[in-house]
Amino acid sequence: MYMFGIGEILLAVFLFLAIHYWSLNRNTPITKWPVLGMLPGLLYNMSNIHDYLNLVLKQNGGTFIFEGPWLTNMNILCTSDPMNVQHITSTKFENYGKGNDFSEIFEILGDGIFRSDSHIWKYNRTLLHSIFKKESFQVFIHKTIEKKLFSGLLVFLDHACKKGMQVDLQDIFQRLTFDNICYIVLGFDPNCLSIELPEIACERAFTHAEDTLFSRHVKPRFWWKLQKWFQVGEEKQFIKNQKIIDEMLYSEIKSKREMQGERKFDLLNIIMTEAGNGENPIDYEFLRDTSINLLAAGRDTISSGLTWFFWLVATHPFVEAKILEEIKENLPSREHSWKDLGAKGLSKLIYLHGALCEALRLYPPVPLEHKSALKSDVLPSGHRVKPNTMIVYSLYSVGRVEEIWGEDCLKFKPERWISKKGGIIHVPSYKFIAFNAGPRSCLGKDISFIEMKMVAIAILLNYHIQVVEDHPIIPSLSVVLHMKHGLKVNVKKRSI
């Protein structure tokens, strides 16, 4: 007769207890398991992580503590409570920094503005703010975007129309914004967006690196660090991607250092002129860190915002019609091109601005932010915070809080942004948090709106965008809210 061994008996007992425990807790949004903590539920819902987190937050009053497996130091306070967000980002700003966990995960950013704290962050922000507010720089931004729209985007879309091609708009926007930000920051155009849609190593490296950065958030720290140490799995590819990015950046920095005579007008040259001096030029590492932070911000956030915006507009014909009507009403004449709107004309497009804000509310490009407390504190929700506690606030969930946005918070409704007098309704940044809040609010907010409006006008006025039938729209698992399968569309020329 076959006798069960001790191993089989223990396994059977474990499975019985696990199934029994699951049956008792299957109707709760998040279950705390023995030893494993809440990690199994997180992993099970990973493909739909943002809506899952939103559900858990909603059922816990906007704040809960995620408890990870034993001995992994994965306990995280998660919140979407706007009062907590305001407290963390503004009221007690000095007590909440990026922290060690963020620094380790995002080591690729160096000491740039997104990863740094205290005096290093203040220096970066002050330097960039002084440059961004200059009129000459704003004119440069406008001309750069306009030139790329004419020479790249519209040329490609005309080609796609003639060939009857299906187009992945997400890929097109990533190429477009990468070309733009490379020219703005480094003074060169990698020409990712052309009819051939070439494979540009550096542009692809950014995309793949983001995926690894996200997975570092859900893996135990020791595990991804072990993979990095032995250079296996996705950490091996991450090292290769970082090398590709660094080689491109250091090559451009070196060429600028060696340049004689009058320099080109670009952000890196402006920084080298304003922050350095003849005797002690800025070191390569500072320029590299500043550049990679600006490239990441200028490419990914804007391309993500545009992708979700065009999907929402394409699936809401009434909104599309109103945007078109507004654009045409503000054109100098029917014969004039969209570029004749100019910067002042862009500011008159109230409904378009509301539609962009609505897209960013529902699908913020950076869906999660995390901080670390320096000292003990108590949040407005009553939750106690110990030193070094990791805090994650969900920008995705803040945009879905009914107390802020109403019972129709899941609807795409640009009208919610427009006052009775026809102006834009101001919403505090800790409620409309797509550009973060407090002292670390995005410096490039105005630039982002300018680029998104210019792209939206150029496309909508010239083309009708139709999403391919049954194309799945699912957020990707990344630190930036991209679409997992891209945005496949058919493009048809519009008769004005």
Distance of alpha carbon 109 from alpha carbon 249, whole angstroms: 12
- Here the contacts of 436-439 (C-beta below 8 Å, separation 24 or greater) are 436/89, 436/366, 436/369, 437/85, 437/86, 437/89, 437/90, 438/86, 438/89, 438/90, 438/93, 439/89, 439/90, 439/93, 439/125
Whole-angstrom CA distances from 132 to 129, 135, 140, 279, 344 are 5, 8, 11, 26, 18
Contact 238, 209 (CB under 8 A): yes
SS3 category, 260:
coil
Distance of alpha carbon 331 from alpha carbon 156, whole angstroms: 24
Contact 50, 394 (CB under 8 A): yes
Q: Binding site for heme, residues?
A: 442
Residue 306 CB contacts under 8 Å (≥ 6 apart), including other chains: 169, 173, 177, 452, 455, 456
Residue 471 CB contacts under 8 Å (≥ 6 apart), including other chains: 485, 487, 488
Q: Binding site, residues?
A: 442
